[in-house]
Structures are given as C-alpha cells and as structure tokens.
Structure 1
Amino acid sequence: MTEKERKACPMAEIEPLKPTGMIAGFPVRPGFYLSDGASVVPDGVNFTLHSFYATYCELCLFHRGEQQPYAVLPIPETFRIGNTYSIIVFGLNICEFEYAYRLDGPHDPARGLLFDREKFLLDPYARAVTGQSQWGVRSAPGVAYHSRVVHSNFDWGDFREPHIPFQDMVIYETHVRGFTKHPSSGVRHPGTFDGLMEKLPYLLELGVNAVELMPVFEFDEMEDDRVADGKPLYNYWGYNTVCFFAPNTSYTAAIEYNREGDELKKLIRALNAHGIEVILDVVFNHTAEGDEHGPFFSFKGLDNNIYYMLTPDGKYYNFSGCGNTLNCNHPMVRDFILDCLRHWVVEYRVDGFRFDLATILGRAPDGGPLASPPLLESLAFDPILGKVKLIAEAWDAGGLYQVGSFPSWNRWAEWNGKYRDDLRRFLKGDGGVAAAAVQRILGSPDLYPPDSRQNASVNFLTCHDGFPLYDLYAYNEKHNEQNGWDNTDGSNDNASWNCGAEGETDDPAVNGLRDRLRKNAMAVLLCSRGAAMFLAGDEFGNTQFGNNNPYCQDNEISWLDWTRLEQFEGLFAFTKGMIALRRAHPVLRGTTAPAAAQYPDTSLHNGTAWNDAVDGETRQLGVLFTGRDTQGERDDFVFLALNVHWEEHGQQLPSLPVGFCWRRAADTAARDPLAPEGTFDGSHVTLAPRSVQVLVGEPCPA
C-alpha cells in the first residue's frame, strides 16, 4: 500500500460513534436501521422498531422488575426512515435496565387500527422477555412484558451440525418440562434444558438421532390458568407465543440475566456433538394476544391490521382455533418470520423446524389458500435455511387439510397424518384399509411421488396431540374430564382399541395382547420408509390415563413417569432393538443402490410369495425391501410380515439368491421378541394372531 493509499484509508483513525444530541438526559444519535430489535454497540445500545401506521414512538426504560419507567425517550422524526424508528442510546449498562415502547397512531377498530399511547409494547424482536420467568407464578395485575438486551457471545467452538439424511431420522418428540419434571426422572434440574441434557446418555442408549422439542419460545403458561377437579391447570404445551425470538426463561435451571439462551445453546451443542439433531416446534399461526378480548402487549399496538388476519369489520379470523391468525403472507409478516427462523439457525444452530398448523402459512390475507404462497417459497429457498429440515403440520383448525399437497418446491416435508390414521386402523384389525397401509409402509408414494416429493413423509402413530402408544391399546374412548370441559375437548376419533377392558386391568390375557400390539406398532413404524417419529415415553409404556388432549395438565398426566422404564423394560428393549435394526438396514429407510440380484426395490408377498393382491378383507401383508447394505458391499434383504388378524396364518417367504438364507430377527409373539425361539424351514413362517415378524436375508452359515 502506498503512502497516498494509507492516508486515504486511515484505519487506526476511525472515530468511535458519537452522540448527535440529548434526549431525556441521555446522549443519542440515529441508529442502525437494518439492525432489528435491541443490540449492543460501542458505549451504547441500538434500538430499532418498525410500524407502518404509527405517528409517534417513544422508548421506555425500566429498572429491573419495576413497572414504571425511569426514563422515557421520544424518538424524533429525524430518527425515522420510512416506517422504521432507530436510535442509539449511549451510557446504558445492559444489566441494569429493561425496555418497552409506546406508540401513537390512529384508533379505528373497524379498520383494525388499535394504537394506544398508554400501552407498553413488547419489542417483537426481543431476544429476552421479562415478566414471567418462574413457571406457574402469575405476575401482578397490570404487569406488562418488558424486553431485555442480550449480549450474544456464546462460543460454538468447532461446532458442526450432523446433517442427518432425512429418511434416516428417528425423531423423538418431547416436552422440555414434562420430560424430566416427574420426581422419578432423577435429574438435578427437573423440567429444564439442563434436565433434558442430563438424560443425554438415555437418548444415546435408545438410539434416536433427532429430538423435536415442543414450543420453547417465550409463552404464557398462565394464559388461561384455572382449577379443575382440584388441580391447577395451565397452558402447559406452550402453543401461545409471547415472543418469537426469545427462549422460554422458565425452562432454564439458572437465571441468565442478559445471557438468555445460553443453557439452550449448550443443550443443542451437546446433542449435536453426539449425533442428535434438534428440531423446534414453532407456532407462527397465532400469538398469545388472542382475539378482541385477549391481552394487548405487542402486535396489536404495532400494526394490528398488518400482523393479524382481519374480517372486513375489523374482527379476527380464527383459523388457528386460538382467537387470532397471523397474516403470514403480508410482506412485513413474511420478513418477520424469515428473520426469526434465521435467528434460531444462526444463534442457536437449530437443525430443523416443525410448523404447527402450517397450512395457515399458505393462506392469503382474506384466509383463502394460495396456490404458491410467498412465505413458503421464501423459506424453501432461503440460503441461511438451506440445510435445515422444514416440516409442516399440513392442516389447521379452519378445515384446510393438505397432507400430500402442501406446497413444497421439493423442500418441505410433512407430518403424515394419513400414515397415523391408516396404520392405526390396520394394526387394530380393521378391514378395508390394507391397500392404504401398504402405501404408508412404502413411504406413501401415492401422496409423495418419488420423482417430485423426495424425503417428504414423517411417519408417526403417536404425537403430543392424542393418545400415547400405551393408551392407544388401553382405551376405546378419551377420558379428558380433568381438563374441565366435560370431556368435550380432544378428538373423538382415535382409532384406538382397549383389547377388551377399558383402562387398567389385571387380566393377563388383555395385558399380553396390549404388549404385543404396542410392539407391532413400533416394528411397523421403524420398518416404514421415510422419517420415523414417536412420542417420548412410548418406548416404556408412559400413559396419560386416557387423556388425549392434556394441553393444560402440568402434572402426572403429562409428565413422563420414569418408573415405567423398569416396569416395561421389554418394550424399551424391543424399541431400542428395532431402531438398531433400522439403522443397520438402509433398505428400510429408503431406496438404496439396487441389489445385484434381480429383485425390485420393494415387492408384496401377501400370504404367498409374489402375491400383491389386496382386498377389503386383507389383514395379512408381506413386504420385501431389497437393495445394498449399509456399507454398500452386498445385497440386503428385509422382509416385514404382518398378521393383524385374530387367527394364526402362514406366510410363504420369497426365495433368496443362492448363498443367502432367511434369519428371523424379530417376532412380537415370541417370549424374547428380538431373539425369537423356534425354527422355520427357510421358506415359510407361522404368524401368531396379531403379530409382526421381521426377517433378514443373510449369507448362509458355512
């Protein structure tokens, strides 16, 4: 560099930021308009807020825990560009204050404009929220949410995401609090991110490679707190977001003043380091502000008629079933959601997102479904989100059901609700569903054509919404009386079967049948193509006592009872073994390199070899998967034999190439299902009533 060039670029002489004026006794200057929320800058804090219709904005500063501001800073019009206010306030110690905004503007409810200069508003981009950091403790009446500035300097080291292929995923859906809150969990910090991390050895033993966390964004569990049947009820699940950029502070073992998120980041780093991805269940279909009778703390006071879908007379559309619906395809809301997801990927290294009631993300401002929703397209092609999993719950409370037709750009996967419904009915012995069951086991090619929708099906039989696996074969009817709605809430269509006795029983025949049906379900789920998912606790018989909608039950109904791990050790061992078998045989997960032998990728052998006939009375299926093994070194053959009939049936096995023999790897009717006793002649097996067998083709013993 020449002397002239050095003089033109005097790096050492760059001047620090300097105030341009004073407001309320604080040195200030215009801020960084492209930096959303509040962020630390040299000697100060940058605050940026957007509002399309606001005519005035002021920043309010509070001492920690106080409800009246110690300073109010009107943001000058000269600090506004377009519809964005931005100000740098110097001399602030981020550990000593909280902040909120007050805005003014038109108040015309018929047009959806609700500006109120008296209301304190939570920054929608806040990285931390105060006001309810202790679970189940209601703030005093009139207490508003405040934001806190977070100094993000978490050291990720040489962190690398696992990037597990979609079809290889075994997803474990769980609730952060409920996973370890029960006294039997034995962790030091029950109900927290740290408590979940203490169970890492358990997850590794089980063999799952993805954890899907129910909502961890800041939410209000006290939204509808009440007492029913003598028990306090909360919004336990957390599907009522208060702030989309902030972690739920009541899930931390320690107070994290201005370091909010560190405990969750440590959890994600630890899980990823051991090959377990983290998927967040996110709720962009509505917020905790509810309808016109709900609270007023953020979006309502910013731009109510932009952030929410409104009817022509200014009321709230309710496609979410929770009072309001986010206007996801408005450009401002679309940018907000995109910014939020990028934040969680960059700051928290999240591996994927499951979108609650995702069809709402494809609705137009008037509620109608869009053929090519801008938001979904933006998320599909965003470069920051380029390698994360995007999983849609492809239905909503407004009746829009898009399983198999969710707009995808071959990028979005779906919770396959048809897999759940068809397999539940087939596995309990219903007639007329065998053809659908075949499609689901093969990866639902009728819904997701392989040439256009690869890696789209998340197969599941249970999730947080509905019966867990234990209850699926213990109850014919839901038992939600303790929710306080006279058993009117929750689905009435569970496709469950109590095996002859409702609820708990001492009948050994009933309990034996139930145990076999649960193992049947696990075997079929883990031998179906596509990603597999099950609800935490299913592997050891956790029960919700017949409650199929425990969204409000912060107690033993929802918490995992770890004493059942010993009680149902056989189910746990079987689930662990089936996960290992799935991992060892990629032909179960998806199409591999073709086998050298001339066999199709998949084929049907219903009762007899090469019989692909299915009719309304079919209750026996044989599915052969072929391809190359894990190392790609030799042909791999796995045969899934199902008999959901109440009578014994024989099953003819297809012939294997010379030098290969069948080995029975699992039999749910055997005393030891993973080491079945007895022999077979190599060409036929006998299937006990309501049982599943898995056979593996291997080189014949010398």
Structure 2
Amino acid sequence: MTETQAAALPVYAKHDLGAVWQADRTAFRLWAPTASAVTLHRYAAGSDDEPGAADLGRTAMAKDRHGTWLAVLDGNLAGQYYQYELTFPDGSATVTADPYAKAAGINGQRSMVIDLAAAAPPDWDNDRRPALAPHAQAIWETHVSDFSADPHSGVPKAWRGKFLAFTLEDTTLDGDGVHPTCLNYLKSLGVTHVQLQPIFEFATVDQRTGGYNWGYDPLNYNVPEGAYSTDPWHGEVRVRECRAMIAALHRAGLGVVMDVVYNHTYTADNWMERTVPGYWLRRWPDGSLTNGSGCGCDLASERTMVRRYLVDSCVYWAREYHVDGFRFDLMALHDVDTMNAIRAALDALPGGEQILLYGEPWQGGATRMPRRAVSANKQALDKLHPRIGIFCDNTRDAIKGSVFDGAAPGYVNGRPDCGYALLHALSAWRDGAGGFCPQNPRQVVQYVSAHDNFTLWDKLKCTAGRTKKYVVPDEDLLAQNRMAAGIYLTCQGLPFLLSGEEFARTRNGDSNPYRGPAKLNALDWTRAARLSDLVAYYRGLLAIRRAYPELSGQGGAEPCILSLPGWLIGFVPERPGESRPGRLAVYYNPEQTCQVVALPAGSWQTLSDGTTAAAQPFGPVRRDTITLAPVSVTILRAVAGEK
C-alpha cells in the first residue's frame, strides 16, 4: 500500500473500537476499510483445549461509517471470547483477534469481552497517583518476573514472578524479618517510580507451560501479559491482578512507568495487518518491510489510524490502569507529531500533566518515513514537547565507557579525560555540546545502566579484565560503582537506574539475556543483603537529591564550575532565583590517589565522602581545603548562616 493509498482510506475518529461492553448488550466495532465482509466468531473459552469450550455462533457484521464494521449483540456477554473473520475483494480471507481488545484468553489468540468495573481489585476507585515532586523523581527499572523470582525473596511460590508479588508489603529474605525484599525494600530505597519492562501481552512465552522473555515482542497492546497472572486462562484475572500491582505500588508512594513497544510487532503477520493488509507497517518502495526495529515490522506511526491507535492505547492504560508514565522503546522510530499527540492526549486527563513520557532517541536500523515526518530522536528535542524526554547515552558512556565494547573505560574506570563530556552532562547538555538541544533538564534521562547491554557491575568487571568471577565484590570496583551513581545523581536531569544496580547486580557478563534463563535475570535478594553498604550509599544519594532541588536543575540554573587541577571536576549547583553561591559543593575525583582541593569561601560539612552518603551532614566542619578520597564523589553543604 502506497502513502497515497493509505492516506485515501477513511479515518474513524471515535473511541469505541473493539468490544464495548454494557450489561444488556455489547457492540463490536472493527476498522477494516479494505475488507469486503467481516464475520464475528464467539466462543465460551479462550481456546478449544479448555473444559466447556464451545462455539457460540457467528454473526455477519454490517459495514458502517468511516471504514468500520459493526455488530451489536443483546445480553450480558462479559467473559465470552471472540475473533473476526475477514474476506477481501481478491477472495483472500483471514481470521484474527481484535487489535483493539482489552482482554484475551490463553496466549492471546482469542479476544475477550470484559466488564472492566468487575475486573477491579478492592478499593480500585479510590486508587490515586502519588504526588511526587519533580526534583525528587528517580526511576528504578525492573521486570515483573525478575522482581520476585528469587526463591529467597520471601514471596510465596505461587506468586513469584507474578503481578501479585508486588502487593506483598512486608517480605524479607527467606522470611527472616530483618532484610527487606521486593516492595518492602523499595519503600525505603528512595526512588519514586518503578519502570516495568513490557507488561502488555507478548508472544514468545507459552502461558500454559511457562517460560521467560523480556517482552519486547508485542502481541496484544491493550491486554496485560497472562504469564504474570495466577490464571492466564480467564482474561479478567490478569486485568484485576495487574491493577492490584499498580494500586499496591501507589499505596507505597511509588509511581508506575510502562515500557511500551509501539515501534514494531512480534511478526509482520499481526492482528493489525490481518485487518488492513499493507497499512500498519512501513515498507520500502519495492514493497519490502523496513527493519528499523531489528524485527522486520516497523509500525507506521505517521499514518493517521496508526497514530490514533498509539494515542488511544496510552490514554487507555493511563485511564483504566492509572499508569504514571510511559517509556518508549526505540522512540526514534516514531515521528515527532505522534509523540506530541500522545503528550497532548495524556495532558487532557485529570492530573495528566504529571504523567512521565520519555524514550530511547535511537533506532535499531533503517526505516522509512514520509518526507514530512520527523523522527523523534535526540536532534528533534526542540520539536518535541518539553515534557517528552530522552535517554542520554552521552552521559552513560562518558561515565563508564561504551556499552558496545566491554573493555572500553569511562571517567570512573580508567579514562578521566571523559570528564570533558561530564562538564556538559552537569547541566543536562543544555549547551548543545552533545549535538542536541534539550529545552529543559527534565528532557534528559541521566543513567549508567538499563536492561539492555551489560549491567553496570558487569561492565566494570569487563573493563577491569576480571571476568572469571562476576559475583566477587572487588573493593576498587565498588568504589567505581559508587562514583558512577554519585555522578548521574548529581547531574541535572531525570535519574534512572536498573534494578539491582545499587547492589552490584550481575548477569555473569551476559549483555542480552532477553530469553532467559530466568535465574540469570532474577534479582538476587541475598546479594542485596550482603552488599547493604552499597545499597545504603544509593539510598543516601537519593535522599540528598530529594533534599536539595538545585541538583535536578529545577528553575534552569547552570552549575558554577570550580577551577581544579587535572581531571578533577568540581561545581556549585546554583539555586534558582538566588544570586549568591549555592549551598552545595560537589567534587568528582577519578584518580587512584587522594587529591587535595580548595573549598569555596565559608565553612562546609560532608553529605557524601564517596563511601557514605546522607541528606544530613556528618563529620567535622571544613574550611579552605578538603582531601578527596580516590575514585569518589564528595558532596558538601555550606554551614547554615554562612555565605
């Protein structure tokens, strides 16, 4: 289908696609403008393998307005499953699940009619997004299975790796009552948001027998993943349990960010393409599929009904699941207009302006957008809404070295000249030195590790050439780990960390275990207890960031750089609206030896000495000079009353 042909298709503007349930009837509406006939098939179960499976009949759908087909059936159909059979003018035919489905049966092959109100956990109507101060926000990324799969997590076996594991408030290591795990652990860490790797239904885990995958193989975008529920056979269960997870995180004061993969589908033979062949995916002029996602099936976000689908899907998750943010996988495969439309639609919701929106400003290969479309990459930050952010690989690689070369060092582990880049990272690259121009600090997600590539700890091990024993907590590498955290948590922007980074998480050097095994990916809660000093350091850094808004760049002030010798970096974060020097001084020492540096005028006390960090000062009052520990971040606070 050419761009001209795609543009000529009718556009359906209402928001009632899919199965719209009412107690006395259900309306099924499908956008399929190129079909010549559509038949609705209904079933008593999500597969023919289940007890009580029965065919409930077929209904010819009527061609309706703007390219849609409609069937309205009387009675309470909640819990029934369905598919569509489409016939096309050339005589071809296909059977498909509903691209607009809100629930599904086992493995997502049949869609399900759902009464969303009946699929709510207790007190769902009173669930509210937590109010989280922008300057204090910090994101912790995890995977539903990784979070609780460890048999030492204190989570009952039936709930390990499930949505419901997040609802347990007091789990401890092997139930010892001393070392917190899972949600109990998160409540005191100091992060504000939990980013969940894909929780919509993906294709490659058989929900009947189990398995493991990160979930970047989308199947049903508006349906929670059945493998994370205690009962994948009945579609309402996963909906209720997913909501229960979100409500529990909200009660703990934590926001929930969804990792969304709208850039591609698992296969080119997907529900969308089955309903409107040739429309949903990008193609080269010769008709072959583009492969900017690395999966050979890029969604054409610039097309009107694709864009509408993405917008409606985000709004649906925000409205019906109370999601607090969206992280876009390979966001550069989307066009700027689509991303801005999503931002505008979320902003229109009650409290929607507080919903986070950010993504990866790159793609995995070449794609093809019409000339009018602009890729949502780093270079387009000035065209994106100022509350759409991007992951900053510039900061990431300057701190610890390239993610594509395990041996390549960065500022904390052998290449102090990378400090040149960090001078720009301090103000979230707003000086344009990185080749992109953020409109404000919060457009820049500052981080050193995410689910992709090596964990921070494994990267430090690789660079040091110590790949025999990843689990060994080398003291010098722990210092590098602390320093890496100290840098991005004192840079302006929105901080982000991979779950377990704060206890030297290792995957034994595997940089891409997206298919498992689950044990390799699972958070090791025994290691969290063993490396509690490192956890405490992260907790202290996060507390400092909460207590001192100037670190986030709130108000847009620039850090005042101090004149220091060699590769040392020092700065005073300016305080918005104040002309006098700030109340904090921050120093980075990447050297293997102690370094003596001059202090700004006045008296100072320590918040971080590179080993210990706290929001309240500790240690002696210092004037004139200070000795910086090797490989460390030192944070000082001016003594109250002094200028």
Mark yes or no: TM-score above 0.5: yes
Paired letter, 2:132: I
Match of 2:85 in 1: 102
Aligned-pair CA distance for 1:392: 1.9
Paired position in structure 2 for 1:501: 466
> Cα gap change, 1:681/1:328 in structure 2, threshold over 3 Å: closer, same or farther?
closer
Q: Which residue of 2 aligns with 1:603?
A: 560
- The counterpart of 2:152, out of the listed 173, 184, 203, is 184
Please, which of 446, 456, 481 is the counterpart of residue 469 of structure 1?
456
**Alignment match, 1:122:** 97
Structure 1 window deviating more from structure 2 (244-253 vs 675-684): it is 675-684
Q: TM-score, normalised by structure 2?
A: 0.83
In 2: Cα distance, 1:505 partner to 1:129 partner: 41
In 1, are the aligned partners of 2:604 and 2:622 still within 8 Å (CA)?
A: no
Q: Deviation at 1:531? A: 0.9
Kindly state the Cα deviation for residue 92 of structure 1 after the two structures are TM-superposed.
Answer: 5.0
Q: Does 1:157 align with 2:105?
A: no
- 1:57 matches 2:33: no
Deviation at 1:196, TM superposition (A): 2.4
Provide the rounded CA distance (Å) in 2 between the counterparts of 1:635 and 1:434.
23
Deviation at 1:244, TM superposition (A): 0.8
**Equivalent position SS for 1:473:** helix
1:506 and 1:535 map into 2 onto residues whose CA distance is: 17
* CA deviation profile, 1:214-256 (whole Å, cap 9, x unmatched): 1001001349x9xxxxxx9966110011011111121123555
Q: Structure 1 residues 348 and 505 mapped into 2: Cα distance closer, same or farther (>3 Å)?
A: closer
CA contact (8 A) 1:624 1:638 kept: yes
- Change in Cα spacing, 1:359 to 1:622, as seen in structure 2 (3 Å) is same
On the 8 A contact 2:140/2:194 being kept in 1, the answer is yes
| Counterpart for residue 87 of structure 1 | 71
1:121 to 1:196, Cα distance in 2 relative to 1, 3 A: same
Q: Distance in 1 between matches of 2:430 and 2:202?
A: 38
Q: Deviations over 1:468-522 (max 9, x none)?
A: 12212112xxxxxxxxxxxxxxxxxxxxx22x53342799xx8110111111111
1:289-688 map, 5 Å:
289-290=267-268, 296-362=269-335, 373-382=336-345, 383-384=348-349, 386-398=353-365, 402-406=377-381, 407-424=383-400, 425-447=410-432, 452-453=439-440, 455-475=442-462, 497-498=463-464, 501-504=466-469, 511-592=474-555, 602-607=559-564, 618-627=566-575, 637-656=583-602, 661-668=603-610, 681-688=622-629
Alignment CA distance shift 1:451-1:673 (3 Å): closer
Q: Give, in whole Å, the separation in 1 of the partners of 2:167 and 2:459.
A: 29
For 2:265, which of 271, 287, 293 is the aligned residue? Answer: 287
Conserved? CA contact 1:59–1:74, under 8 Å: yes
Give the 5 Å matches for 1:145-224.
145-153=109-117, 154=120, 155-188=123-156, 189-198=159-168, 199-222=182-205
More deviation in 684-693 or 123-132? 684-693
Q: Distance in 1 between matches of 2:262 and 2:40?
A: 27
Root-mean-square deviation (CA, aligned residues, Å) is 3.1
- 2:249 is aligned, of 257, 267, 271, to 271
For 1:59 and 1:548, the matched residues in 2 are separated by 45
What TM-score do the two structures reach when normalised by structure 1? 0.77
Which letter does structure 2 place at the counterpart of 1:642? Y
Q: How far apart are residue 619 of structure 1 and its match?
A: 1.9
Instruction: Work out the CA distance in 2 between the residues paired with 1:308 and 1:606.
Output: 54
* Residues paired across the two proteins, number: 580
Report deviation, 1:692. Answer: 2.0
Question: Cα–Cα, structure 1 residues 194 and 501, in superposed 2: closer, same or farther, change >3 Å?
Answer: same
CA distance in 1, matches of 2:431, 2:558: 16
Q: Which residue of 1 aligns with 2:635?
A: 694
- Cα-to-partner distance string for 1:620-658 (whole Å, 9 max, x where unaligned): 1111113279xx9x98511111111233321111113xx
Separation in structure 1 between the aligned mates of residue 237 and residue 40 of structure 2, nearest angstrom: 22
Q: How far 1:555 moved relative to its partner? A: 2.1
Contact persistence 2:29–2:71 (CA under 8 A): yes
The amino acid across from 2:386 in the alignment is: N
Instruction: Give the number of the structure whose alpha-carbon radius of gyration is greater.
Output: 1
CA displacement, residues 132-181 of structure 1 (integer Å, 9 cap, x when unaligned): 28xxxxxxxxxxx1001111113533443234344431100010111111
Alpha carbons 1:122, 1:298 under 8 Å: kept: yes
Corresponding residue number in structure 2 for 1:24: none
**Aligned-pair distance for 1:195?**
0.8
Q: 8 Å contact 1:150–1:260 — kept in the other structure? A: no
SS state of the match for residue 433, structure 1?
Answer: helix
Q: Offset at 1:438?
A: 1.3
1:86/1:241 CA distance change after superposition, 3 Å: same
Paired letter, 2:507? Q
After TM superposition, give the deviation of residue 431 of structure 1 in Å. 4.4
Q: 1:207 to 1:681 in 2, by over 3 A?
A: closer
> Are the structure 2 counterparts of residues 357 and 234 from structure 1 closer, same or farther at C-alpha, using a change threshold of 3 Å?
farther
Question: 2:216 corresponds to which residue?
Answer: 239
SS in 1 for 2:204: coil
Q: Secondary structure, in 3 states, of the residue corresponding to 2:277? A: helix
| Cα distance in 2 for residues equivalent to 1:646 and 1:33 | 63
The answer to whether the 8 A contact 2:145-2:161 is kept is yes
Deviations 1:195-217 (A, max 9, x none): 12323221111111011111001
**Alignment-mate amino acid for residue 37 of structure 1:** G
Gaps of 5+ in 2: 1-12, 169-181, 367-374, 401-409
8 Å contact from structure 1 (residues 152, 259) kept in 2: no
Alignment-derived partner of residue 45 in structure 1: 26
Corresponding letter in the other structure for 2:469: E
Q: Is the 8 A contact 1:33 1:84 kept in 2?
A: no
- Which residue in the other structure is 2:175 paired with? none
- Aligned residue in 1 for 2:6: none
Task: Give the partner amino acid of 1:333.
Answer: V
CA distance in 1, matches of 2:14, 2:555: 50
Q: Relative to 1, partners in 2 of residues 1:655 and 1:36: Cα closer, same or farther, differing over 3 Å?
A: same
- Distance change (3 Å), C-alpha of 1:654 and 1:322: same
Q: Offset at 1:297? A: 4.7
Distance 1:451 1:521 in 2: 23
Assess, with a 3 A threshold, how the Cα gap between structure 1 residues 604 and 33 changes in structure 2: closer, same or farther: closer
Bigger helix share:
2
Residue 582 and residue 454 in structure 1: after superposition, are their counterparts in 2 closer, same or farther (change >3 A)?
A: closer
Unaligned runs of 5+ in 1: 1-31, 108-114, 134-144, 226-231, 291-295, 363-372, 476-496, 594-599, 609-617
Whole-Å separation in 2 of the counterparts to 1:106 and 1:168: 57
